[in-house]
Amino acid sequence: MEGEISLDETRKLIDSYYQSKTVRTPKDEDEEEADKVSANIAKILASKTFAFNTNGYVSLHRRIFEGVFKHAGEIRQYDISKKEWVLEGDSVNYLNWEDLRRALDWDIEQEKNFSYKGLTDDEKIEHIAKFISGIWQIHAFREGNTRTTAIFTIQYLRSLGYEVNNEMFAKHSWYFRN
């Protein structure tokens, strides 16, 4: 569809399609979420804007999940735990909700002040991976943390001069998530 209609027109068609459905199944709801989120992500990645700060991260969540989650762009207001099969049923130690914004501020500020000068490519990759996994582990939102962190990562890497698109994350989403 690239070049034939705009991303905004695509999103309107997606909205119209799902609004016209008279019978809805759980599968339809999953597909609607995936379609709307994909359209939102395509629009975000087509844009050259990127705010490397906590407000930018929260805004990114809102833009990805606009029209999908009522709580899009809202930092969670309660503690969470999620059983993860990759941890044999244990939960990641997520931060308590009162500290989420401070933790995001701190991690992003630490990264802003970090210098990559003199590092090998492997050292750069290791540092970026630790930074991004730290942002993900904060788990600032009720839902959509992995997708938000993936798009944030793409934008951050682009801001550092790397050519990155969503294919790497789509192709390796299972690995990225786990």
pLDDT, mean over the chain = 85
pLDDT(61) > 90: yes
The structure's pTM equals 0.80
pLDDT(149) > 60: yes
pLDDT(165) > 80: no
Q: What is the mean pLDDT of residues 60-64?
A: 98
How would you classify residue 88: left for phi > 0, otherwise alpha for psi between -120 and 50, otherwise beta? left
Band (82; pLDDT cuts 50, 70, 90):
confident
